[in-house]
């Protein structure tokens, strides 16, 4: 049986380059030692709800922050967001969408589902790092969520 330590950040990102850039940004702020990186929407749901390959996570604590790409294989980021916000135990976990473009329809849908923040990934490296760092910092250290 695999051992799962307490996860701080769940990063759901199918593009390994983007994932590496995000992890590096979080690392530099010392936010990355407890990041779980998952590469598609179906896996993300299994992880969160302790199903499929992650049944042994049952009873484990949920992550404190979810960074979620919109365009994901199998199950889209918007669908993952919907499932999280529909679930009473998961609803209070901050979810930050990370996406390549500010499409009006996505933005609207995410906010209707109750997303906490919506970040357009900049092409520029420094800006991208800055956005990821800011999101990690704010939601991990500044923001207060209801206990348990």
Q: How far is the CB of 100 from another protein (least distance, A)?
A: 4
Nearer to another protein, 43 or 106 (CB): 106
- Residue 80: strand, helix, or coil: helix
Q: How far is the CB of 138 from another protein (least distance, A)?
A: 22
Q: How far is the CB of 133 from another protein (least distance, A)?
A: 14
Using alpha carbons, select from 93, 108, 75 the residue that is nearest to residue 140.
93
Burial track 68-106 (b if 16+ CB lie within 10 A, e otherwise): bbbebeebbbbbbbbbbbeeeebeebbbbbbbeeeeeeb
Question: CA–CA separation, 37 vs 33, rounded Å?
Answer: 11
Residues at the contact surface with another protein, assessed by CB under 8 A: 15, 17-18, 20-21, 24, 71, 99-101, 103, 121-126, 128
Q: Residues 31, 138: contact at Cβ < 8 Å?
A: no
Nearer to another protein, 114 or 122 (CB): 122
Nearer to another protein, 48 or 68 (CB): 68
Q: How far is the CB of 99 from another protein (least distance, A)?
A: 8
Nearer to another protein, 21 or 113 (CB): 21
């Amino acid at each position: 049986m695999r051992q799962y330590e307490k996860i701080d950040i769940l990063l759901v990102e199918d593009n390994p380059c983007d994932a590496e850039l995000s992890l590096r940004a979080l690392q530099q702020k010392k936010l990355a030692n407890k990041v779980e990186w998952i590469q598609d929407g179906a896996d993300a749901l299994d992880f969160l709800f302790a199903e499929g390959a992650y049944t042994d996570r049952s009873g484990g604590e949920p992550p404190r922050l979810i960074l979620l790409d919109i365009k994901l294989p199998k199950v889209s980021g918007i669908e993952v967001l919907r499932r999280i916000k529909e679930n009473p135990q998961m609803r209070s976990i901050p979810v930050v969408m990370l996406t390549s473009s500010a499409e009006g329809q996505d933005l609207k849908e995410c906010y209707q589902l109750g997303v906490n923040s919506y970040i357009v990934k900049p092409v520029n490296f420094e800006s991208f790092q800055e956005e990821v760092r800011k999101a990690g910092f704010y939601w991990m250290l500044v923001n207060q969520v209801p206990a348990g």
